[in-house]
Amino acid sequence: QQQVKQSPQSLIVQKGGISIINCAYENTAFDYFPWYQQFPGKGPALLIAIRPDVSEKKEGRFTISFNKSAKQFSLHIMDSQPGDSATYFCAASSMIKAAGNKLTFGGGTRVLVKP
Amino acid sequence: GAGVSQSPSNKVTEKGKDVELRCDPISGHTALYWYRQSLGQGLEFLIYFQGNSAPDKSGLPSDRFSAERTGGSVSTLTIQRTQQEDSAVYLCASSYGLGIIGYTFGSGTRLTVV
């Protein structure tokens, strides 16, 4: 059962453009939603995260939008740069101790920013 | 150490052989996780350790997979009688503990079963 669905699988954007990646989840127990960035040959690195008590969080050029009623969240990369070319993963977990902070990942989006 | 260290970085093995993958977490991190990333796919949870508690093995795909963590630090993931479908990148991550937001991944071990 895929609990976190991510789209699109790949994305090409011109330098300076906006990259938008969408995720939808099923488990209403999820209450922590991070995004990870992964470069080839490296492990994923935490980019930005949001809790469901806010609808938007911005860090530099990266913004997460969260819609609790629709069980959807998205990542917006503003003013995309060639260095942003990477694979992005959304994830979700439940922060209660019993859940063990295990992350459920989306399938990933490969982003290519053309100069 | 400064980051999560995994070894080897690459491993090619013959079908049916056993393999051991090693993870050195960040010093002081009490929680350790193993994930599997198949080609072009997202990450799949395998197992996690927290302190001296019994590990959560709920993600292990079969009884050919096992893991241990010695002294609350280094962890070894063992795959017995490897199959071609075991080919993937195995990622280890560590954090200060449960409920802590975000954890640090290593660069992974790319396992190829031929």
Residues B57-86: tens digit of each pLDDT: 999 999 999 999 988 799 999 999 999 999
Interface contact A100-B105, CB threshold 8 A: no
Interface check for B102 against chain A (CB to CB < 8 A): the answer is yes
Residues of A in contact with B50 (CB under 8 A): 100
Per-position b or e across A23-56, b if 16+ CB within 10 A of its CB: bbbeeeebbbbbbbbbeeeebbeebbbbeeeeee
Could you give the C-alpha distances from A33 to A49, A67, A77, in angstroms and in order?
A: 5, 12, 16
pLDDT single digits (tens) A81-104: 999 999 999 999 887 766 667 899
**Residue A19: which pLDDT band, with cuts at 50, 70 and 90?**
very high
CA–CA separation, A92 vs B69, rounded Å?
25
Query: B interface mutation test: which of A4, A21, A27, A101 has the most B CBs within 10 A?
Result: A101
Using DSSP's 3-state secondary structure scheme, residue A105 falls into: strand
CA–CA separation, B70 vs B85, rounded Å?
28
pLDDT single digits (tens) A46-64: 999 998 889 999 999 999 9
CATH class of B5-108: mainly beta
Q: What is the 3-state secondary structure (H, E, C) of A20-79?
A: EEEEEECCCCCCEEEEEEECCCCCCEEEEEECCCCCEEEECCEEEEEECCCCEEEEEECC
Question: Which sequence spans correspond to the domains of chain A?
Answer: 16-114
Indicate whether B45 pLDDT > 60: yes
What is the per-residue pLDDT for B101? 65
Residue from the list B42, B45, B101 with its beta carbon closest to the beta carbon of A102: B45
Distance from CA of B65 to the nearest CA of A (A): 18
Mean pLDDT, residues A53-76: 95
Distance from CA of A24 to the nearest CA of B (A): 14
Question: Which sequence spans correspond to the domains of chain B?
Answer: 5-108
Indicate whether B98 pLDDT > 90: no
Indicate whether B103 pLDDT > 70: yes
What is the per-residue pLDDT for A95? 75
Interface contact A46-B93, CB threshold 8 A: no
Q: What letter represents residue B83's amino acid?
A: Q
Q: Which residue in chain B has the smallest CA separation from A44?
A: B105
CATH superfamily assigned to domain A16-114: Immunoglobulins (2.60.40.10)
pLDDT single digits (tens) A21-36: 999 999 998 988 999 9
